[in-house]
Amino acid sequence: MRVLVLHSHPLEESFGRALCKLTCESLENAGHEVDGCNLYEEGFDPVLSAHDRRVYHDIPDNLSLVQPYVERLRKAEALVIVSPVWNFGFPAMLKGYFVRVWLPGVSFDLVDGKLTPTLRHIRKLAAVMTYGATPMRAFLPKSSASYLFWNASRRPSRVASGNASPWAARSCATHRSSCLTSPCPTSMPNCVCR
């Protein structure tokens, strides 16, 4: 299976980068063809310019500046997002990727006001997310932090699943950075440190 692995962290020495490397190696060892896309290393421009916005609905003009990223997305059969959760959401780089690459004619068609998903070739979705909050702050029931965290950590699947095949398998692993130095105090079944 051809897997597009999106990574969004600026620091080479980060735990997220290590997780991305491990994810890519594990997928390759399992026999998958991996396309590792490190948005920072590749110098991806996440800024939607005035020109980009003006041609947003004009297919194929809207693809001109992001064509290589569009082709990689179109070739993928699976998508894995490896990213931190910062301020209860995606880093701006990853958000910019979704805004600039998941365009009309790429991730959806819009004809006569009717939206049709077009990423049906993506059969599997996964996310590996890191965050730095304490369990008390991140998982406290009914706290705004808990609500925002869970929405952010589930967002990759929600963003992609609306456009992917309705039968695509989905998974999301979350990991707290302090789990590295002490036993993981969470009882979350998706925590990768368990």
Range of the domain at 83: 2-180
The CATH number that applies at residue 53 is: 3.40.50.360
User: pTM for the complete prediction?
Assistant: 0.75
- Encode 95-133 in three state secondary structure: HHHHHHHCCECCCEEEECCEEEECECCCCEEEEEEEECC
186: in domain = no
Predicted local distance difference test score (pLDDT) of residue 162: 56
Q: How far is CA 150 from CA 145, 158, 174, 179, in A?
A: 8, 12, 10, 18
Residue 193 placed within a domain:
no
Question: Can you list the residues of the chain whose pLDDT is less than 50?
Answer: 142-150, 152-153, 155-158, 177-194
What confidence tens digit (pLDDT) does each residue in 176-193 have?
544 444 444 444 444 444
**What per-residue confidence (pLDDT) applies to 29?**
97
Domain contains 94: yes
Is residue 119 in a domain? yes
In a domain, 132, yes or no: yes
Total domains in the chain come to 1
DSSP secondary structure of 21-35: HHHHHHHHHTT-EEE
- Phi first, then psi: what are they for 68, rounded to 5°? -60, -35
pLDDT at 164: 60
pLDDT digits (tens, 9 = 90+) for 58-79: 999 999 999 999 999 999 999 9
Is 140 part of any domain?
yes
Question: 194 lies in a domain?
Answer: no
CB contact at 8 A, 83 and 30: no
Give the per-residue pLDDT at 122.
Answer: 95
Closest-CA residue to 79 (of 162, 130, 5): 5
Q: Answer for the pair 131, 103: CB distance below 8 angstroms, yes or no.
A: no
Domain-embedded: residue 56:
yes
